[in-house]
Structure 1
Amino acid sequence: MAEIRPFKAWRYNYKLRKQIDELTSPLFDVVSEKQRARLYQNPHNSIHLSVPQGENAAWKAGQTLQQWKDEKVIVQDMVPGIYSYFQYFTLPGDTKEYCRKGFVAFIRAYDWSDKVLMRHESTMPHSVDDRVAILEETKLNVSPTHGLYTDSDFQIEAMLDAGIQQPIYEAEDYQGVRDVLGVVNDAASIRKIVSIMRDKQIILADGHHRYEGSLRYKKMQLAKEPTATGKEAFNYHMMYFTNTEAHDLRILPTHRLVKNISDFAPAQLLEKLAAYFIIKLVENASDVNEIILGKQWAFGLLMGDEAYKIRLKPECIDLIDWNFPDKIKELDLTVMHYFIFEKILGIAGKDQTRSEKISFERNFTECHSSVLSGEAQFAVITKDISIETIKEVCLSGYTLPQKSTYFYPKVICGFLFGSILEDEFTSPFDSSL
């Protein structure tokens, strides 16, 4: 089902290998303003391609890319490969070091209706527009999205282990994660990986906006080329693949910050919440995460200098009139977006992806600071989501609200770039796949 293929990555010149820590950057949708300001100071940092600044930003990214090619800041690998990408990380309160093993390859950009690649999350249109513009100007996949496949036999990992023995890059990123990149470029191993992946369905874990950007770009090109064969470079997209069975996947919660609600009054909000939720005052805001842990339909509420635990009254679950199956209606995130954002704040579900009143923050401390400073009127603290829940959502054909998940660790931008320029994409190796 899933057609993947090796590719000839563009990478930083070998002479810059020891500077790779200074050339990588966080993905476009997680990089902070403070990080951007620092990274922009390095004229060769990958952020100039992924998040170009100023007016005509996408055009600038195209110009930067051409300059880097001309000056050999980046060079293209001579032979196609599938790139081993391992991430070594620890979690708060846990001394164990985890290693997430994955690989980067191109995948055909499938329509959602093909049911080869499954999404679990809604997107924000303006972010997709941004990705399409950069793709049009650069003809480059600047960073890989993250796809999940399931293989309980772990058939691919041994080949990835072989590919990582002589690392191309090794870096410690902004998350404190050790990222290691290698390459598998022997034909037999590549054919085997391609063959194993052929019967897989892929869950899109991270990068919905970038993938939709590739999908929209493909459709734009097909409209211009009605005689296209399907083998053209614009039909493909660069992705990082990991195995759901490896137990090294972490999905962290993404909290909601609310601002710009006119005539906002904390007492009035609590009164409206009380119609649907059981509300309990929490003495120490920092305890909220533990208090809601493991409790269905429970959230933290930070407002002013006070914190609350709010939990949906069980009899209220049947009030949800969104056209979802029961399993989706009963998810915490559905409860939050239906009752808090639609019923109480009056932001209709269809408008929530575009609402400037709702923003997203993974860090609890940042949420608390934003509320205390008055930058946000209140924050809703959520819990993490299991991979089983993600699978259920994908199989249902529905999606979670935008920014519902934060897969950890994130891949980084700058290890490799994937060209969809025809003469840089094709290879004599293609005929042997």
Structure 2
Amino acid sequence: MAEIKPLKAWRYNNELAKNMDELTSPLFDVVSQKQRDILYKNPLNSIHLSVPLGDTPALTAKHLLANWKSEGTILQDKLPGIYVYYQYFNLPGNPNTFCRKGFICHIRAYDWEENVILRHENTIPKSVNDRIELLAQTELNVSPTHGLYSDLDFELEKYMDEAITHPLYESEDYQGVRDVLAVIHDQAVIRKFIEKIKPQQIILADGHHRYEGSMEFKRTQQKNNPNHTGNEGYNFHLMYLTNMEADDLRILPTHRLLVNLPPLPDNWMEKVAEYFIIKPLDDWYSVPEVISGKPWAFGLILPKEAYKIRLKPECLDLMEWKFPKEVKELDLTVLHYFFIEKVIGIEGKNQRKSEHIQFERNFSACLEQIHDGKAQIGLITNDISMEQVKKVCLTGYTMPQKSTYFYPKAICGFLFSSIKEDEFQVPDYSGF
């Protein structure tokens, strides 16, 4: 059973919100250094809470948050609500405008073992620890993670469509996406959302580090609270929920860059040939098209040449990782096992923590990194389907880290969610 609750969001005051474009920021794990440098110049931008600066960044965020509250920079809504969040976007080569529809709420921070929130990716420990520390100091969810529910009949959509006609904010973000936020306060309507989600398992699409941070913080607070009831704010997490049955759900590939590797032997490509069929490519920019739709096919980008590599089908049986078929046959499992472990020598157990593996969504940025000598090897991947995500989640296993890039990303700055006890609890008269 998935328990959700409406929330009393903290939001920028009305005067500041007139310039909302100047206050929003990308999520902490996708914001580039160039973007950060620009956003930090605005002392009121949300990045100061999501990716704080200083020798003790979490403490910096704690003090800043206290100032913003006392000075009225951000104000807390008086009534609890479900916040409707629509994202209008376009894709290259497609004339259509898409709209991903969803809503933001509090959801109970279930442990993985409870099998209510289903993960499909591994996390990187350092990033989780950073999120735990930030949450412990601020008791604030700065941005929502992204979860998927199922609504085959689209029952909730009519309520969201009605609410979005009276937006709180409209903004164009760094992705070129038009973001629109509205709120539902009607108690009867909110209960329809609660009842729709209650019997479901939620697939965590994006935000594994932030969700795991909430989960670990909850465990710590439970141990330290002899009067724990399960209703305290630390038991809940901020999530943006979208319908996995909708046509406007897009998953883009995330490519791999290998950096600062020790010198490879002169004949290292012979090792690649043991597992992969290798085809040289004249046009580096054709790589995404050449591998598109082909299972176990990847682009291999080197400083002076580019190749299409595709796993020899008979090699799949050589995989020694103890995964079910649904995970073994994934492109990224194949890539991480046969190339990153067998060819490069980074064992699977060390890959999550490896400083030699970086991730990049933008294909052109991968080429630039290779050409500039910042990376030695680029591994270009295909996207993954929603059906594959579902299958992996149901096995209880996970994909390699950064396997999916659900597009577009939610933005930070539209609202903040406090789990501080006196700010989390809603009035008795609200019915929640």
Tell me if both proteins adopt one fold, taking TM over 0.5 as the criterion: yes
Partner of 1:264: 264
Report what 2:74 is aligned to. 74
Write out aligned runs for 1:14-413 (5 A): 14-265=14-265, 267-413=266-412
Report the Cα offset of residue 226 of structure 1.
3.3
Query: Secondary structure of the residue that 1:274 maps to in structure 2?
Result: helix
* Secondary structure of the corresponding residue to residue 65 of structure 2: helix
Structure 1 stretches lacking a partner, 5+ long: none
TM-score by length of 2: 0.99
Q: Supply the distance in 2 between the matched residues of 1:251 and 1:368 (Cα, whole angstroms).
A: 21
Structure 1 residues 231-240 or 191-200, which shifts more?
Answer: 191-200
Amino acid corresponding to residue 413 of structure 2 in structure 1: G
Amino acid at match of 1:322: W
Q: Distance in 2 between matches of 1:248 and 1:84?
A: 16
Q: After superposition, give the CA deviation of every residue in 1:240-291 in whole Å (9 maximum; x if it has no partner).
A: 00001111111100000001111135x5331110010000001100001001
CA contact (8 A) 1:162 1:184 kept: no
Number of equivalenced pairs = 432
Task: Measure how far apart 1:432 and its partner are.
Answer: 2.7
Asked if structure 2 preserves the Cα contact closer than 8 Å seen for 1:83 and 1:163, the reply is: no
Query: 1:414-433 to 2 correspondence within 5 Å?
Result: 414-429=413-428, 432-433=431-432
Identity of aligned residues (%): 60
Tell me how far apart the structure 1 counterparts of residues 17 and 375 of structure 2 sit (CA, whole Å).
42
Structure 1 Cα separation of the partners of residues 164 and 71 of structure 2:
29
Give, in whole Å, the separation in 1 of the partners of 2:45 and 2:86.
Answer: 22
Structure 1 distance, partners of 2:425, 2:194, is: 16
Say if 2:10 and 2:417, in contact at 8 Å, map to a contact too: yes
Letter in 2 for 1:375: K
Matched position secondary structure for 1:104: strand
Contact 2:80 2:430 in 1 (8 A): no
2: distance between equivalents of 1:288 and 1:268?
A: 24
Amino acid at match of 1:188: A
AA partner of residue 417 (structure 1):
F
Q: Report SS of the residue matched to 1:334.
A: helix
C-alpha contact 2:143 2:238 (8 A) present in aligned 1: yes
Q: Distance in 2 between matches of 1:60 and 1:363?
A: 32
For residues 429 and 371 of structure 2, the distance between their equivalents in structure 1, rounded to whole angstroms, comes to: 58
Question: Following the alignment from structure 1 to structure 2, what is the Cα–Cα distance between the partners of residues 172 and 346?
Answer: 43
- CA deviation vs aligned residue, 1:404-425 (integer Å, no higher than 9, x gap): 1111000000000000011101
State the distance in 1 between where 2:430 and 2:65 align.
29
Conservation of the 8 A alpha-carbon contact between 1:298 and 1:312:
yes
- Residue 227 of structure 1 deviates from its aligned partner by 2.9
387 and 429 in structure 1: CA distance in 2 versus 1, 3 angstrom threshold: farther
1:431: how far off? 7.2
1:343: how far off? Answer: 1.0
State the one-letter code of the partner of 1:410. K
Shift of 1:122: 0.1
**2: CA distance between counterparts of 1:95 and 1:402?**
32
| 1:192-211: CA deviation from partner (whole Å, max 9, x where unpaired) | 11111111110000000000
CA contact (8 A) 2:187 2:430 kept: no
Query: Against the structure 1 CA distance between its residues 366 and 131, is the aligned structure 2 distance closer, same or farther, given a 3 Å change threshold?
Result: same
* CA apart distance, 1:430: 7.8
* SS in structure 2 at match of 1:416: coil
CA distance in 1, matches of 2:287, 2:426: 55
Which amino acid counterpart does residue 417 of structure 2 have in structure 1? G
Comparing 323-332 with 166-175, greater Cα deviation is found at: 323-332
Per-residue deviation, 1:373: 1.4
SS at match of 1:245: coil
- Which amino acid in the other structure matches residue 274 of structure 1? A
Contact 2:4–2:197 (CA under 8 A) maintained in structure 1: yes
| C-alpha separation in 1, matches of 2:116 and 2:346 | 33
CA drift at 1:342: 1.0
Contact 1:149 1:200 in 2 (8 A): yes
TM superposition shift of 1:374: 1.2
CA distance in structure 2 between the aligned counterparts of 1:144 and 1:30, rounded to whole angstroms: 14
The amino acid across from 1:352 in the alignment is Q
Partner of 1:246, secondary structure, is: coil
RMSD: 1.0
